[in-house]
Amino acid sequence: MLHKLVRPVVQDFTPYQWELSTAEVARRYNLDPGQIVRFDTNTSPFLPIEFSQQLPEYGRAVPRVNEYGDASYAGLSQDLAEYHNCQPEQVVIGAGADELVDMVAKLFLNNGEVAVTAGPTYPVYALATELMGAQMLEVPRGPAPDFGVTAAQLAEVALAHNAKLIWLCNPNNPTATAIPVAAIEELLERLDGRAAVAIDEAYAEFWQQSALPLVSRYSNLLIIRTFSKAFSLAGARVGCVIAQAETAAYLNRVRPPNSVGNLSVVMARQALQPAAVAEMRRRVELILAEKARFSTALAQECEAVYPSVANFVLARIGSPEQADKLALALLEKGLVVRRPGSMPGHFRITVRLPEENARFLEVLASNR
């Protein structure tokens, strides 16, 4: 009888699918969990700066866990404002980019309305849109290696369908490509405020470009940022939206109270200290340098490895059957890759430490 109470949209849609957990891979293939390497999550291979040494300090710095923390996240908002060169009232904090995506959908989308994106892209935008009873229209990206989409294409579809919201992942997951900031500005001009534009910049630190400077000029622009990638805090679940103060105030109306835990707030604030930011940027440079070497070697074992502006690469493996067979061979050795459901026959591969990448290449070569 319960199905009669559940919203039809929830009954009908397909939820986001993760690859197997580390614990499940270890159990299934009789492996040591410590030997399993996640090439599927686009996270940093580094622990947060001085993480082990700071563990005792967390016990003294974190507010009592039997009490709620500051629901306004005032200290973290100030730190994020300084990092993003904006005002604290422009910052909205959430439990990672995914919760912020959900909040943006709640703010703008009613049942029966329309959102637009450029696909293939991160599937959570469609899930958040559809759970609001809205329709997602996908503008197809161009062919490899650019996977391009223009401001004119996006604006034309959005305006023709009276869309309320445009989702953009920039750099895009899974293609590892980016729309130039100038094209985003053109899109905003063409829309003339008739639709909101939410840009997920999860990989901005690796691209080293951002649409953040446009926020001061466009009240319909929201920039989503996260600590999950370059800052090495995926498990802490912290992210933020940067928007004009009025837009941020509206978004705060739909923000769940205290969804970011006390420990996560402390870790995020420490990650924004000058020494930690400098170390983060040094690690980004190491990953980018390793990406160049890894991509060259990977190209010898794949049909194609496309240019990337992020900390991961998209590789064409072959037929979907070949890709599935190879993914299983890697999994049996404790190496987990992402197979984007929207791009059969491809792997999305995170750039990790040199020794981990070498292990990946060795297993890949032995199973080609």
For residue range 121-170, list pLDDT tens digits in order: 999 999 999 999 999 999 999 999 999 999 999 999 999 999 999 999 99
CA distance linking residue 121 with residue 124, whole number of Å: 9
With beta carbons less than 8 A apart as the criterion, state whether 316 and 304 touch.
yes
Q: Which ranges of the chain would DSSP assign to H, the alpha helix?
A: 8-12, 22-29, 51-61, 74-84, 96-108, 124-131, 151-160, 181-191, 204-207, 245-253, 262-271, 274-299, 320-332, 354-366
Q: Which regions of the chain carry the CATH code 3.90.1150.10?
A: 2-48+278-366
Please write down the long-range contacts of 246-251, taking CB distance under 8 Å and 24 or more positions apart: 246/219, 247/219, 247/220, 247/221, 247/222, 248/89, 248/90, 248/91, 248/92, 249/89, 250/107, 251/92, 251/103, 251/104, 251/107, 251/222
Q: Virtual CA dihedral for 360, 361, 367, 368, nearest 10 degrees?
A: 140
Task: Tell me what pLDDT residue 277 has.
Answer: 97
Q: Please work out, in degrees rounded to the nearest 5, the angle formed at the alpha carbon of residue 215 by the alpha carbons of 210 and 220.
A: 120
Q: Virtual CA dihedral for 141, 100, 81, 229, nearest 10 degrees?
A: -60
Question: Could you give the angle at which helices 274-299 and 262-271 cross, rounded to 10 degrees?
Answer: 80
State the architecture of 60-275 in CATH terms.
3-Layer(aba) Sandwich (3.40)
pLDDT at 14 exceeding the cut of 80 = no
Global confidence as pTM: 0.94
CATH fold for the domain made of 2-48+278-366: Aspartate Aminotransferase, domain 1 (3.90.1150)
Q: Which regions of the chain carry the CATH code 3.40.640.10?
A: 60-275
CA distances from 165 to 101, 107, 151, 191, 226 (A): 12, 10, 14, 11, 20
Q: State mean pLDDT over 239-256.
A: 96
For residue range 71-130, list pLDDT tens digits in order: 999 999 999 999 999 999 999 999 999 999 999 999 999 999 999 999 999 999 999 999
